[in-house]
Amino acid sequence: MPQKSVNRVVLAFSGGLDTSVILKWLQVTYGCEVVTFTADLGQDGEIEPARAKAELLGVKPEHIFIEDLRDEFVRDYVFPMVRANALYEGQYLLGTAIARPLIAKHQVEIARAVGADAVAHGATGKGNDQVRFELGYYALEPDIKVIAPWREWDLTSRAALLDFAEKHQIPVPRDKRGEAPFSTDANLLHTSSEGKVLEDPWAEVPDYVYSRTDDPEQAPAAEDVVIAFEAGDAVAVDGEALGPADLLARLNALGRRHGIGRLDLVENRFVGMKSRGMYETPGGTILHLAHRGIEQLTLDRGAAHLKDELMPRYAELVYNGLWFSPERQMLQAAIDLSQQRVTGEVRLKLFKGTAHVTGRRSSESLYDERTVTFDDDAGVYDQHDAEGFIKLTALRLRLLARREQR
């Protein structure tokens, strides 16, 4: 039962079964006014039906917020991660994790605008998203009341949710009444699938789970794509300048038809358990590889290696919901400083589920053909210089070896 009275709450609302039940549950349990916020992050399906669903459940039209956040999502959240080359546990491109702080930010802004004293989300008590949402809320509005229905109510099964929906006349499409074979989360960066048929880590992912990528074995002939970067951010595809969301959408379309970006992963959740999920990140995978490609030319060795040391920590902060933390912001400042001259073009070849760099060029390149050539370098590099470097580096090794030989 509620421990604190609530007058008005801003709910992260998708319009699906879970959040529709939550909306009504908040009205019944807290007796409060509910304001809904639906973020368009480029997920599959229509966003606008959420408006009709909210109105049906008694939300005032002026308290239904639907916002197109696709450009903000890519520009201010996805691109900074790409600049960091962020991969959680060496593989996961953080598609779900990076969306939560953006949603939390807008919920808090709406709460301030409408005078709400609480925010609510539909994340379960077993998952990472409860942590991500709530750390975002508290970082931006430290005294906000947070309601997490899955940690409070006794609706612990899908059958219970359906019974509640029927009792309160919440419409549920006929095809949604059966037990879902798996759960999904989607945005412009990725689609994640987990649960049910995916819970056995030995069982291969069924073909019907894939929604964002075509079968790599049926992919068309190899295709080249050229991505242009300025200061670490992608700005054009095949010579066409594009805004952040349109650029990622273009790469998603390319990645889809070549079956690129599938990842079957058993990860370590923040809450302590291991979880098996299947991620599809077609455009993000291409973008990540291209960014590494342009850094190969333009980033100094010391900066590049330091970035690689910092990256696991950065990725873990994002995964754990600490996007608004000072340590993430400190790392971002250092990373962004390194990106000032990460400018140029990268060519990749896409073929049957794979993408690999086949060329890169930049006006900011540190690559010097005169220095690396195997032909006569006309004295640019004096090979005799290497002897002194090697002997100085080897000095301590020689001293150790002499001691062992006594």
Exactly one of 83, 100, 250, 328 is catalytic; which is it?
Answer: 100
Calpha distance 257→270 (Å, rounded): 33
Q: Which residues contact 325 (CB under 8 A, 6 or more apart)?
A: 135, 139, 317
Parallel/antiparallel/unpaired status of strands 64-68 and 33-40? parallel
Calpha distance 102→86 (Å, rounded): 17
368 among known catalytic residues: no
Give the CB-side neighbour count of residue 5, counting CA atoms within 13 A. 1
Query: Which residues does residue 39 pair with via DSSP β-bridges, in sequence order?
Result: 67
Exactly one of 14, 18, 233, 275 is catalytic; which is it?
Answer: 18
Calpha distance 399→298 (Å, rounded): 38
Contact 87, 95 (CB under 8 A): no
Calpha distance 406→402 (Å, rounded): 7
18 among known catalytic residues: yes
129 among known catalytic residues: yes
Exactly one of 75, 76, 117, 183 is catalytic; which is it?
Answer: 183
The two structure tokens encoding residue 297: 């030319």
Exactly one of 14, 40, 70, 129 is catalytic; which is it?
Answer: 129
325 among known catalytic residues: no
Q: What angle do CA 335, 81, 86 make, to 5 degrees?
A: 90
**Ramachandran region, residue 271 (left: φ > 0; alpha: ψ -120 to 50; beta: rest):** alpha
First-to-last alpha carbon distance for the chain, in angstroms, is 77
The two structure tokens encoding residue 96: 């779900």
Contact 7, 117 (CB under 8 A): yes
- Given 3-state DSSP classes, what are the helix, strand and coil percentages for the chain, each rounded to the nearest 5? 45, 20, 35
Calpha distance 258→261 (Å, rounded): 9
Catalytically active residues, by annotation: 18, 100, 129, 183
